[in-house]
Amino acid sequence: MFELREGRHDVRTCVELFAGGGGLAMAVHAAGFRPLLLNEIARRACETIRANPLQPARDDELPMPWPLIEGDVRDIDFAKEVRERVDLVAGGPPCQPFSLGGSHRGDEDERDMFPQMFRAIRELRPKAVICENVRGLLRPSFAPYFDYIKRGLTLPFLTRSAGKTWEEHDNELEKAIANDDADPTERYVVTHMPVNAADYGVPQIRRRVIIVAFRADLGVDWEAFHPRQEYSYESLIHSMRADGPYWDRHDVTDEVRDRVISELPKLDLADEGVRRRLALRPWRTLRDAIVGVDENEGSPLPPVEVGDLRPKRQVGDVTGHVGWPGARTYPGHTPNLLDRPAKTVKAGVHGVPGGESVMRVDDPGYDGTGYRYMTVRETARVMTFPDHWELKGPRGEQMRQLGNAVPVKLGATFARAVAAALTEAERRR
């Protein structure tokens, strides 16, 4: 079957595990990959994927359902379910085992699904792999297991025998990698990159680790792999100075503008790194997301008035833009600021935890507090989800799907870089 998958093709293909609410699936599809299979176990997330048909690449084609398999990834026979050649396996294995907000049990946590990524690679033999996870995976206490993950991705065909600990398996992997005698079609070249989504145009501070692997026989030149950082904090600061271009797209009072400017840090223009980052585009802010910048250019969300909070009601005709009462701040939960990227969208037990989705508005007298909750649609924009993407379930469940997701813009940047590197490798062969 592997030989059949390697035939000539015009469109690249992908399989995605742990699809959640669809962020990475949209990203990979936007980068030109045709989905062959998506897997997700959470019922509400599956409802979301089914409610949003796969948009065709051509105008003369009709939307199609995503090729979703609902259920436990451990029950899927990938070689049976996928009958075509696979270019990319992508996924964000559940991050709770490694998250700062989780129980930190790591490899001891039954939610650790990296072994299933290894199995999918064995059964599908993709040309490339993308894994996204929380930055907590890089914490010193998890360093041995993170090294094991990378070695497992390097030699996914060297399986862990029943009864062996992961440490024993890791020793076998380390020795095999040192010998460097594995079949190149069964070995991968692996790297990882700590990233902040804001550096890639996402209006959110979201620190993650991206793991990328290419099959060794392809001879991919890592110099051809360019997920470029195109945005910077320094450029945002510069654009917010008096009469800076940031204010050209935002209708705010002089009082608001002056307050924001007064809170800006100073830039050390003698620093070469600062000068280099000033040449990049400005970080996008929460206000940018709400007003509509980049993918939502010219599509501002209607303002949420105090009267929209009690009773909770839909504001305008964009799905998920519903006012929500009860916003407050308290120690340890500072609000989101409109003129900064949003704080990390998190997935708590009941959606975004605590004050993480509270924002400070321009009017200090708003609802007697000066604060309100972000709507689901505003949060979706912060995750760079398109406005047409409808999230299913109650509000808390929708917010949880967003907190677990990969920002579409971040995922697309890496998926396009993978596609370009594969194209360059094929050109040279």
Contact 15/67 with Cβ under 8 angstroms?
no
Q: How far apart are CA 240 and CA 288, in angstroms?
A: 13
Question: Is 95 tagged catalytic?
Answer: yes
**Which residues are CB-contacts of 132 (< 8 A; sequence separation ≥ 6)?**
24, 91, 92, 208, 209, 210, 211, 406, 411
Q: How far apart are CA 270 and CA 300, in angstroms?
A: 38
Phi-psi region of 393 (alpha: psi -120 to 50; beta: other; left: phi over 0): left
Please measure the distance between the N-terminal and C-terminal CA atoms of the chain and give it in whole angstroms: 22
Cα radius of gyration (the chain):
23
Q: Which of 14, 46, 95, 131 is catalytic?
A: 95
Q: How far apart are CA 170 and CA 118, in angstroms?
A: 13
Instruction: Please state, as a whole number, how many other Cβ atoms lie within 10 Å of the Cβ of residue 302.
Output: 13
Q: Where are the alpha helices (DSSP H) in 194-253?
A: 233-240
Torsion on CA atoms 76, 78, 84, 90, rounded to nearest 10: 90
Contact 205/287 with Cβ under 8 angstroms?
no
The SS3 assignment for 16 reads strand
Contact 313/172 with Cβ under 8 angstroms?
no
Tokens matching residue 163: 């009864």
**Total residues found in the chain within this entry:** 429
Each residue of 83-120: b (16+ CB within 10 Å) or e? ebbbbbbbbbbbbbbbbebbebebbeeeebbbbbbbbb
Q: How far apart are CA 168 and CA 172, in angstroms?
A: 7
Edge-to-edge order in the sheet of strand 128-134: 68-70, 33-40, 12-17, 88-91, 128-134, 207-215, 188-196
The SS3 assignment for 138 reads helix
**Which residues are CB-contacts of 163 (< 8 A; sequence separation ≥ 6)?**
none
> Known catalytic residues?
95
